[in-house]
Amino acid sequence: MAERDLADRLDETIDAIVARSDATAALRDRDLAALARIAADLRHYPRPDFKSRLRAQLEWRTNMTAASTMTTGASATAIREGFTTVTPYIRVAAAGLVDFLVQVFDAQETFSGRGGGGGMHREVRVADSMIMVGEGEAAGGGGVMPVSPVAFHVFVKDVDATFTRALAAGAASLGEPADRPYGERSGFVADPFGNHWYIATPRPRGEAEVARGPESVASALRTVTPFLHATGAAEYDEFLQRALGAVEEMRRDEGGQLRYARLRIGDGAVELGEGEPMPGSFLLYVADPDAMYQQALAAGATSIMPVTDQPYGRIGGVADPLGNRWFFSRPIQG
Amino acid sequence: MSQITEDDRLLIEAAQADPARFVDVYERYVDRVYVFVSRRAENRAVAEDITSQVFARALAGIGQFEWRGLPVAAWLFRIASNTLADHWRERSREAHDAPPDVPDAGELENIERRLTLYQHVERLPDLQRQVIRMRFVEEKSIREVAAALERSEGAVKQLQLRALENLRKSMGGHG
């Protein structure tokens, strides 16, 4: 009976330790104190796959270090000036999205021209991030980049003001600005074309919130970061690592299921969360598009554009199992 | 200590000549760095994130590392300390947060003790190890663990108790 009581008392102590609440009473319990100390040390017991994931990240980094050493920066020049490795390409059926981005996020248009398919190809900068916009169903490769709303995480100085501007510009609210437990004040909107914008401002958190979970990821991200939704996010996370060499930098599981991950791809990043997919198109500037294309196919992607030389550079593309489309490009240099 | 520092020297020189060899530095020290960081991070995800950053910074700085005979661990703990301080600053917690001290002899002993404990967890009988992982890593409740293992809650509490008692015995004087 005493044994059973001890099991119950230990369990209550472990509940308190895991919940980061006060478990010091256990230290005054003669039978329990030594076990409680062991339990406290187990609170940070690492996840079984922790070391292997970090090692994989490190191997990727060492490969990049070796490559940049050998090519004296050739990999860096594969990216167009002002861009990062990952650039979202939003396809919309009609004009208007660029105006929305200018009005809401103070975007600056850096390029506008007729695309290969007859529609308009436009590029805008939002603070330190670039977004490409294709206007017209048939622009820039017909069905290769179909019209399909995508989602973004956007950091701004004042989420409430930006949220108000978004509604004034025709967006629909998906969630009023509120303080979130992950260290952000954020509000969510759908623009007139159906794209989702998770608008956020980092905020300091109280100790209780700090204890409950990870902080805002703002410090690790640029202003605009694609947010990928996936059904079966854990499996998709692994696919991105295999197909694109993505490096998982942060991960949050709940109930044994991946809820959120931050993945770095070169010097760009995407975020990933469990949810109904909103497949989009993404341009990846890489040193060797042929190798990336083959790597993605080997990981289970399907070809939508074999790698070829184009007037603007060498490019090929694949579709992944969720319908996201990834284009690997090495622009013409000089 | 002289053997350790000689091994360290060889590890560092190999990594400086070939960045791919930095993985050997990682394998040797990742557990210690993680334990050091985890005591100061607010949760496991942050501890893992910071540990990752420590080794990324160490890799980036390996070319500038000058061998002065100090253990590599001391260099990594210093990077970890600075990374934690950066993390606290980004979190805007308190402006006066200073980098935590690198471990003194007492904490080094504590780090080794926790590493030993983690190794003992790996040697627990399968069911007991599963209970420990589900309770502490996945933070499942007893009810959830019982459902996952298809056992009664009382049986899982007994498994949990036996696991902790086994660990206490294995740790002997270190517990």
What is the DSSP secondary-structure string of A311-329? TTEEEEEEE-TTS-EEEEE
Cβ of A178: how many Cβ atoms within 10 Å?
Answer: 11
In CATH terms, is domain B2-103 a member of 2.40.37.10? Answer: no
Q: Which two tokens stand for residue A261?
A: 């991950």
Instruction: Tell me, rounded to whole angstroms, the distance of Cα B116 from its chain centroid.
Output: 11
Between A and B, how many CB-CB pairs are < 8 A? 144
Give chain A positions within 8 Å (CB) of B93: 204, 210
ipTM, two decimals: 0.84
CB–CB of B160 and A14 under 8 A?
Answer: yes
Q: Are strands A224-230 and A268-274 parallel, antiparallel or unpaired?
A: parallel
Cβ of A148: how many Cβ atoms within 10 Å?
Answer: 18
Min Cα–Cα distance to chain A from B174, Å: 10
Q: Which two tokens stand for residue B16?
A: 């400086």
Partners of A152 in the β-ladder: A197, A226
CB–CB of B52 and A45 under 8 A?
Answer: no
Q: Provide the 3-class DSSP secondary structure of residue A231.
A: coil
CB–CB of A10 and B161 under 8 A?
Answer: yes
More confidently predicted of B105 and A227: A227
For chain B, report the end-to-end CA distance as a whole number of angstroms: 25
More confidently predicted of A79 and B114: B114
| CATH class of the domain whose range is B106-174 | mainly alpha
Contact B160, A12 (CB under 8 A): no
> Hey, which residues 31-50 in chain B have their CB within 8 Å of chain A?
31, 34-35, 38-39, 42-49
- The highest-confidence range among A95-109, A281-295, A319-333, by mean pLDDT, is A95-109
Give chain A positions within 8 Å (CB) of B42: 210-211, 215
pLDDT digits (tens, 9 = 90+) for A135-145: 876 534 446 77
Tell me which of A11-15, A19-23, A95-99, A231-235 is least confident: A19-23
> Hey, which residues 61-120 in chain B have their CB within 8 Å of chain A?
90-93, 113-114, 117-118
Hey, of A18, A41, A47, A264, which one would you mutate to test binding to chain B, going by the most B CBs within 10 A of its CB? A41
pLDDT digits (tens, 9 = 90+) for A7-32: 999 999 999 888 877 777 777 788 88
Give chain B positions within 8 Å (CB) of A260: none
pLDDT digits (tens, 9 = 90+) for B6-63: 788 888 888 888 777 888 899 899 999 999 999 888 888 788 888 988 888 888 788 7
pLDDT band of A267, cuts 50, 70, 90? confident
**Residue A160 per-residue DSSP state:** H
Residue of B nearest to A61 (CA): B56
**Residue A227 per-residue DSSP state:** E
Q: Is A72 exposed, middle or buried (0-12, 13-18, 19+ CB in 10 A)?
A: exposed
Give chain B positions within 8 Å (CB) of A58: 22-23, 26, 55-56, 59
Q: Is A12 exposed, middle or buried (0-12, 13-18, 19+ CB in 10 A)?
A: middle
Q: Provide the 3-class DSSP secondary structure of residue A122.
A: strand
CB–CB of A4 and B154 under 8 A?
Answer: yes
Hey, of B153, B161, B166, B167, which one would you mutate to test binding to chain A, going by the most A CBs within 10 A of its CB? B161
Cβ of A157: how many Cβ atoms within 10 Å?
Answer: 8
pLDDT band of A65, cuts 50, 70, 90? very low
- Selecting from B18, B93, B164 the residue whose C-beta is nearest the C-beta of A10 gives B164
CB–CB of A35 and B161 under 8 A?
Answer: yes
More confidently predicted of A172 and B7: A172
| C-alpha closest to that of B51 among A57, A272, A221 | A57
Q: Which two tokens stand for residue A311?
A: 């007037």
Cβ of A248: how many Cβ atoms within 10 Å?
Answer: 21
Hey, of A18, A52, A55, A58, which one would you mutate to test binding to chain B, going by the most B CBs within 10 A of its CB? A58
**CA atoms of A333 and B115, how far apart (whole Å):** 51
Instruction: Please give the full DSSP string across A25-78, using - where no structure is assigned.
Output: GGGG-TTTHHHHHHHHHHTTPPPTTHHHHHHHHHHHHHHHHHHHHHTTTHHHHT
Average pLDDT for chain A: 81
CB–CB of B19 and A253 under 8 A?
Answer: no
Q: In this model, does residue A99 exceed pLDDT 50?
A: yes
What is the pLDDT, as a whole number, of residue A79?
Answer: 56
**CA atoms of A164 and A94, how far apart (whole Å):** 24
What is the pLDDT, as a whole number, of residue A118?
Answer: 58
Contact A304, A282 (CB under 8 A): no
CB–CB of B157 and A11 under 8 A?
Answer: yes
Q: Does B143 touch chain A (CB under 8 A)?
A: no
Q: In this model, does residue A210 exceed pLDDT 80?
A: no
Torsion angles phi and psi, residue B142, rounded to 5: -55, -40
pLDDT band of A222, cuts 50, 70, 90? confident
As a whole number, mean pLDDT of residues B111-128 equals: 93
Min Cα–Cα distance to chain A from B57, Å: 11
pTM (two decimals): 0.53
CB–CB of B43 and A46 under 8 A?
Answer: no
Torsion angles phi and psi, residue A256, rounded to 5: 75, 10
Where are the domains positioned within chain A?
Answer: 2-42, 96-277
- Selecting from A15, A62, A252 the residue whose C-beta is nearest the C-beta of B19 gives A62
Where are the domains positioned within chain B?
Answer: 2-103, 106-174
User: CA dist A227 to A154, A204, B70, B165, Å?
Assistant: 10, 23, 44, 45
Which residue pairs from A311-319 have beta carbons closer than 8 angstroms and sit at least 24 positions apart in sequence?
A314/A289, A314/A290, A315/A289, A316/A289, A316/A290, A317/A144, A317/A293, A318/A243, A318/A293
In CATH terms, is domain A96-277 a member of 1.20.140.10? Answer: no
Residue of B nearest to A37 (CA): B175
| C-alpha closest to that of A205 among A184, A188, A186 | A184
pLDDT band of B175, cuts 50, 70, 90? very low
